[in-house]
């Protein structure tokens, strides 16, 4: 049996403790040695060195390291290739440092958000009450709880008075939960319905209680969730999978091409030296690898992270930036994520008219309106507002903060909207007596002096309050209440309840005996209020944008189904014909029925942490990329399981922040849409510069291969050396590629459906584009070499310089075409991306300095060209651009199909 199923007296005996004296110091030490401290086990943090090593796990980086290693070895043996290897090593190391820096920045931002959740506890030891650090608690400790306290451990209540706790962080329940020490259960109850228990890290919202600690640390309900987190494995992001796949294909191409070249060279040993053939094969391996790709991706993702910080989102790892753009489903918690986590009165009924209350949450600038005009305060409204103001134990600090029960806080704000001043109320209407709320009566009464009369002001559950009423105030006249009146009131109460409102009734009378203990009879009923935790205003628009972008939004909450359905309908989450389920509905389903239901479900209420993980697993099984938002401890396992876990920075628990990939610093659901948009832009830009870089590598491979196959035509000369290829890959291509990564979003990016989870970065259509552009580059480059060596009679060095410059010019000019995969250059503003303009000018300046400054030219085996030769090289540089523009025909053809 669990603690909630055992009588308090029996449980105290089992725990060997005393409710009047508590534990002795000796017993505490003994139990601490046996059970340990009352704290959650922290996951070991990654060291900087481990973070650095993890940057080398990508297959593409491994290929680069192998190529660099071979280049260094051959360089040491032959004095050729050493510089190539050093350059590659330098690029890889800088890339790793950048990755570590960004990850560490995210960790520091996360650390800045952390707060202490339960630093102290009031406990009975050796017969005396004392305050201790909560980690010092042991099983069997007697603890005292009051308003504002965080529960320091799992506690079985022994005594309670009007005790309520806020369990939103643990169960998702938006309303304070009433707790009763005397309640016991024989049957098994879900966590949210155990009214004699309180749980670690939940908050006392009203009343006071005494209890005994039943579980500490990792044995608490929060501890069990933390254990569940450790069993959830984080998978690779779609981008990581795509890059890994691409790198493996590239590795095979490298080996295959190098072997083919080596074989071709051996077949013609008359004109080739075997060692030179080996060096050429290595050069081809270097040509096949886009050395700048990993660095460009890292930098572009890092810049995306920085932009997202400005848009209120902290991204904890680089790949999450891009993964957001692929999200197909957002599973969102309700309380505090889609709603404001602020109870708000939205409807008032004074028995004649139903009024709408404007202003949201703690906004006291609103008013009570009727038929689109400010309501005149009727007698019933006046009495109701005074009951809200005076029959109330909460306090309002300014317009921002309610101290005490959220429901009572909502009533104070309602009275303020009607023009009543909370700060002067107690002086203006002195209180003479009070009947506190309790769960049996389900009502509360305050006796105050109003206009020199003693008023009995009562609020409570409508069905209970109406039994105490003998009269009704209707159209300014007080008369006896009839059965018809009661039916009308209860019908309105039911109508509000069906819309998921929390309903309270209001009644009053005057008395000459204010200190009497029997004043809650013969009351005059005056009206009802209906309140709810309202949706965030910006959430509805964000959800609309999600649907427009082809993203499904699913609400998963621990709250009641009626409330969840009402909020989901308001926000446009619950679509016609789709399901709204609760945990109870699915308990008896088979796995097949459950899976089918989830795929057609928009709302899942009364969920448990296991439900959330199961739902995420089912969605992922069907190929969905799942983003899970949440702020509670109960959300954490699912946050970790999801492809993108999104935690709330303000209301979120530390466990949820640790489990997530991304943290919203403004707790705004709408910020997710901004992040998705940013992710899509980044992926689009990654595609652009990947096509740009890889097509250059294909062109380089074709240049070497064609020159080897038709070696006599090319005078048995390798047109480009490994060091030339490295310069093109790193110094010419990388800067424009960075600039392409800064390209602004193209029109309609949020009107497109998310790309499929199996969609490859380089799909069949993209590969065709890459090969066409590679062919264009090879044709222009080889033509330049042949013109130089055959027609103009240039030396081999000059011919190599011509082909080198043609490739450089070709790449720089082609950058402008690469700005869009679909639009031709004349359909865009050609020079709108200033970063491309800077990159092209900078790369052009570098290459001209390289060619025309002799010491540099000698190192790279180049030679200054004549003006005519330079013009030929530059003119042929437009050929790759024309081929790139031609590939956009594929999109036009597909669009017209």
Place of tokens 């989450």: 573
From the CB of residue 891, how many other CB atoms can be counted at a distance below 10 Å? 15
> Which one-letter DSSP state was computed for residue 601?
E
Distance CA 141, CA 138 (A): 6
Q: How far apart are CA 762 and CA 770, in angstroms?
A: 9
Report d(CA 551, CA 576) in Å as an integer.
17
Instruction: Give the global pTM.
Output: 0.70
pLDDT at residue 117 in the model: 38
pLDDT confidence of residue 747: 82
Mean pLDDT by 10 residues, the chain (897 residues): 90 92 93 89 73 74 74 69 71 72 57 47 91 91 88 93 82 78 86 89 85 92 73 58 70 76 73 67 68 73 82 80 84 82 91 90 80 81 95 80 83 92 90 85 93 95 94 94 96 91 95 92 96 87 91 88 88 90 86 92 87 91 89 77 87 75 84 86 88 89 85 82 81 88 86 77 83 95 91 83 96 95 89 94 95 92 92 95 90 50
- Residues 359 and 582: beta-carbon distance below 8 Å: no
Could you say which of 333, 350, 533, 602 is catalytic?
333
Token representation of residue 864: 């200054």
CA–CA dist 199, 156 (Å, integer): 9
Residues 726 and 322: beta-carbon distance below 8 Å? no
The structure tokens listed for 617 are 């697993």
Catalytic annotation present for 333: yes
Q: Which residues contact 471 (CB under 8 A, 6 or more apart)?
A: 478, 479, 480, 481, 509, 522, 523, 524, 525
Residue of 612, 541, 601 whose CA lies nearest to 577: 601
Q: Are strands 644-648 and 662-664 parallel, antiparallel or unpaired?
A: parallel
d(CA 111, CA 302): 19
Q: Quick one: pLDDT at residue 679?
A: 86
Residues in contact with 605: Cβ distance below 8 Å, sequence separation at least 6, in sequence order: 557, 558, 559, 560, 561, 563, 564, 565, 580, 581, 582, 583
Q: Cα(789)–Cα(98) distance, rounded to whole angstroms?
A: 43
Cβ pair 827, 753 in contact under 8 A = no
Q: Which residues pair with 397 in a beta bridge?
A: 401
| 3-class SS shares of the chain: helix, strand, coil, % to 5 | 50, 20, 30
Q: How far is residue 357's CA from residue 381's CA, in Å, rounded to a whole number?
A: 13
Q: How far apart are CA 814 and CA 433, in angstroms?
A: 84
Contact partners, residue 764, CB within 8 Å, separation at least 6: none
Q: Counting beta carbons within 10 angstroms of the beta carbon of residue 784, is it exposed (0 to 12), middle (13 to 18) or buried (19 or more)? A: buried
> What's the pLDDT score for residue 237?
59
In angstroms, rounded to a whole number, what is the distance separating the alpha carbons of residues 491 and 508? 21
SS (H, E, C) 437-452: EECCCCEEEEEEEECC
């Amino acid at each position: 049996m669990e603690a909630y199923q055992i009588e308090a007296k029996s449980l105290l005996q089992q725990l060997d403790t005393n409710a009047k004296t508590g534990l002795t110091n000796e017993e505490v030490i003994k139990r601490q040695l046996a059970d340990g401290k009352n704290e959650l086990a922290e996951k070991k943090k990654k060291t900087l060195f481990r973070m650095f090593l993890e940057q080398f796990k990508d297959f593409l980086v491994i290929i680069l390291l192998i190529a660099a290693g071979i280049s260094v070895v051959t360089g040491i043996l032959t004095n050729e290739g050493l510089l190539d290897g050093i350059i590659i090593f330098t690029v890889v190391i800088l890339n790793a440092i950048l990755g570590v820096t960004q990850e560490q920045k995210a960790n520091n931002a996360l650390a800045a958000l952390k707060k202490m959740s339960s630093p102290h506890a009031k406990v009975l030891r050796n017969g005396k009450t004392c305050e201790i650090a909560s980690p010092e608690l042991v099983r069997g400790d007697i603890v005292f709880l009051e308003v504002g306290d965080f529960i320091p451990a799992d506690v079985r209540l022994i005594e309670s008075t009007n005790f309520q706790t806020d369990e939103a962080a643990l169960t998702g329940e938006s309303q304070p939960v009433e707790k009763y020490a005397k309640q016991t259960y024989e049957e098994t109850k879900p966590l949210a319905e155990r009214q004699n228990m309180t749980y670690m890290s939940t908050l006392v919202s009203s009343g006071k209680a005494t209890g005994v600690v039943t579980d500490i640390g990792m044995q608490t309900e929060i501890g069990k969730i933390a254990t569940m987190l450790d069993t959830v494995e984080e998978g690779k992001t779609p981008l990581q999978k795509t890059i890994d796949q691409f790198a493996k294909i590239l590795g095979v191409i490298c080996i295959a091409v190098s072997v083919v070249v080596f074989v071709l060279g051996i077949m013609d040993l008359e004109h080739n030296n075997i060692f030179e053939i080996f060096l050429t094969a290595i050069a081809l391996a270097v040509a096949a690898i886009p050395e700048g790709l990993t660095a460009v991706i890292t930098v572009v993702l890092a810049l995306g992270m920085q932009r997202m910080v400005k848009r209120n989102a902290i991204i904890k790892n680089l790949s999450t930036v891009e993964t957001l753009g692929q999200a197909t489903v957002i599973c969102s918690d309700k309380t505090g994520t889609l709603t404001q986590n602020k109870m708000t009165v939205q409807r008032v009924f004074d028995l004649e008219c139903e009024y709408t209350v404007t202003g949201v949450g703690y906004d006291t600038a609103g008013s009570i309106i009727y038929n689109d005009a400010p309501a005149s305060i009727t007698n019933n409204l006046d009495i109701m507002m005074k009951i809200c103001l005076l029959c109330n134990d909460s306090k309002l600090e300014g317009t921002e903060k309610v101290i005490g029960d959220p429901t009572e806080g909502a009533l104070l704000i309602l009275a303020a909207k009607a023009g009543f001043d909370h700060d002067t109320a107690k002086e203006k209407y002195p209180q003479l007596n009070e009947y506190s709320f309790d769960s049996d009566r389900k009502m509360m009464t305050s006796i105050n002096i109003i206009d020199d009369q003693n008023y009995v002001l009562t609020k409570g559950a409508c069905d209970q309050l109406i039994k105490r009423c003998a009269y009704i105030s209707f159209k300014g006249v007080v008369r006896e209440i009839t059965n018809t009146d009661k039916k009308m009131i209860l019908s309105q109460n039911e109508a509000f309840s069906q819309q998921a409102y929390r309903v309270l009734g209001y009644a009053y009378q005057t008395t000459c005996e204010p200190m009497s203990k029997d004043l809650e009879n013969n009351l005059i009923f005056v009206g009802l209020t209906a309140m709810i935790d309202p949706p965030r205003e910006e959430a509805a628009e964000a959800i609309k944008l999600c649907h427009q972008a082809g993203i499904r939004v699913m609400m998963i909450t621990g709250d009641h189904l009626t409330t969840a359905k009402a909020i989901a309908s308001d926000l446009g989450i619950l679509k016609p014909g789709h399901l709204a389920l609760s945990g109870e509905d699915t308990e008896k389903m088979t796995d097949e029925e459950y899976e089918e239901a989830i795929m057609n479900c928009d709302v899942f209420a009364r969920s448990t942490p296991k439900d959330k993980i199961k739902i995420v697993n089912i969605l992922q099984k069907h190929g969905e990329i799942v983003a899970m938002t949440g702020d509670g401890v109960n959300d954490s396992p699912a946050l970790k399981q999801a492809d993108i876990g999104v935690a709330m920075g303000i209301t979120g628990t530390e466990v949820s922040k640790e489990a997530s990939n991304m943290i919203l610093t403004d707790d705004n659901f709408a910020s997710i849409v901004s992040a998705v948009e940013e992710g899509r832009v980044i992926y689009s830009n990654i595609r652009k510069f990947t096509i740009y870089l890889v097509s250059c590598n294909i062109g380089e491979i074709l240049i070497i291969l064609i020159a080897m196959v038709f070696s006599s035509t090319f005078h048995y000369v390798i047109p480009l050396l490994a060091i030339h290829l490295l310069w093109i890959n790193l110094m010419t291509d990388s800067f424009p590629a960075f600039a392409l990564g800064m390209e602004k979003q193209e029109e309609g990016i949020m009107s497109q459906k998310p790309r499929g989870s199996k969609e490859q970065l380089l799909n069949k259509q993209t590969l065709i584009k890459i090969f066409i552009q590679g062919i264009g580059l090879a044709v222009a480059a080889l033509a330049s070499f042949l013109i130089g060596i055959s027609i103009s009679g240039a030396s081999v060095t000059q011919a190599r310089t011509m082909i080198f410059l043609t490739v450089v010019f070709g790449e720089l000019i082609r950058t402008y075409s690469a700005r869009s995969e679909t639009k031709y250059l004349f359909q865009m503003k050609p020079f709108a991306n200033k970063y491309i303009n800077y990159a092209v000018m900078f790369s052009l300046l570098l290459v001209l300095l390289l060619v025309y400054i002799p010491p540099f030219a000698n190192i790279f085996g180049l030679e200054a060209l004549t003006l005519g030769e330079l013009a030929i090289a530059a003119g042929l540089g437009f050929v790759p651009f024309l081929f790139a523009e031609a590939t956009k025909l594929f999109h036009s053809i597909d669009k017209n199909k």
